[in-house]
Amino acid sequence: MSEKGDKAAPEGGQQVEEELLYDYENLLERAWERIPQEVVASSERFEVPQVDVLYEGKSTILRNFVDIVQRINRMDHLEQIYKFLLKELGTAGVIDGRRLVMNSVIPEEKIGEKIKDYVETYVLCSECGRPDTRLEKEGRVLMLVCTACGARRPVRVKKGRTTQEEKGVIKVGDIMEVTVQSVGRQGDGMVRMGKYLMFIPGCGRGEKVKVKVESVKGNIIIARPVE
Ligand SMILES: [Zn+2]
């Protein structure tokens, strides 16, 4: 029997099939890896609802206020959004049915901008870009929890306008309250926060601790408990 004869045998055929299958899986995996994450997220990017504004004398009426709140899944925070908008726009106003009536003339673009700010800060998941999130208190820290991908991040209220890169970024010196989710091989407490993995030496699973960030290297954070 020659080598060539063996290849024609059933076992040989099966092997070729397995190789093909392996190649196919490999190909899929590589193709998936090559798609930048932004593209995956943007293919179903959430559009912030457009404002529908009407001016009546000296008042500005946001006609679709309640509709916008519904679209961003925040009916449980209607009051908070109402206060946020009035404060940010520096005006007084009342909710009238589904409308928000403000007692001064405010440019439509400015209202749209503030709603976009709210959505980016309090609604959109910074990992997958979806609005399927809820707000949760973790100690004194308000967390944005994504029901689509499971990511958690602390809500960072903007002081003025910030760039895309600054959002959801954790820096050395930041103080936050966290709940230790697991314990690593070295015995350090670990907390997963969006793209970050935080290590807290000397903390056990389930422990709620206030920590100060000591170092940030890529996605790895070392933090220590503080009083
Ligand atoms: Zn997500």
Say what the pLDDT of residue 165 is: 38
Each residue's pLDDT tens digit, 207-224: 999 999 999 988 899 999
φ, ψ of residue 113 in degrees (nearest 5):
-65, -40
Distance CA 59, CA 204 (A): 55
Say what the pLDDT of residue 29 is: 65
Each residue's pLDDT tens digit, 45-73: 788 889 999 999 999 999 999 999 999 99
Residue 72 CA to ligand 1 centre (angstroms):
14
Residue 133 CA to ligand 1 centre (angstroms):
7
For the four alpha carbons of 102, 103, 109 and 111, in that order, the dihedral sign comes to: negative
**By the 8 A CB rule, do 115 and 51 touch?**
yes
Mean pLDDT of the region 8-14: 54
pLDDT exceeds 90 at position 74: yes
Say what the pLDDT of residue 175 is: 86
Spell out the domains of the chain, with CATH numbers in brackets: 53-122 (3.30.70.3150), 133-225 (2.40.50.140)
pLDDT exceeds 50 at position 42: no
Please give all residues whose CB falls under 5 A of ion ligand 1, grouped by chain where several chains appear: 125, 127-128, 146, 148-149, 151
Residue 189 CA to ligand 1 centre (angstroms):
24
Residue 194 CA to ligand 1 centre (angstroms):
9
Please, which pLDDT band fits residue 170 given cuts at 50, 70 and 90? confident
Largest CA distance in the chain: 98
Residue 211 CA to ligand 1 centre (angstroms):
25
Residue 94 CA to ligand 1 centre (angstroms):
33
**Identity of the amino acid at 45:** R
Mean pLDDT of the region 159-172: 58
Mean pLDDT of the region 123-151: 92
Residue 18 CA to ligand 1 centre (angstroms):
36
What lies within 8 Å, CB to CB, of 78 at 6+ separation is 66, 69, 95
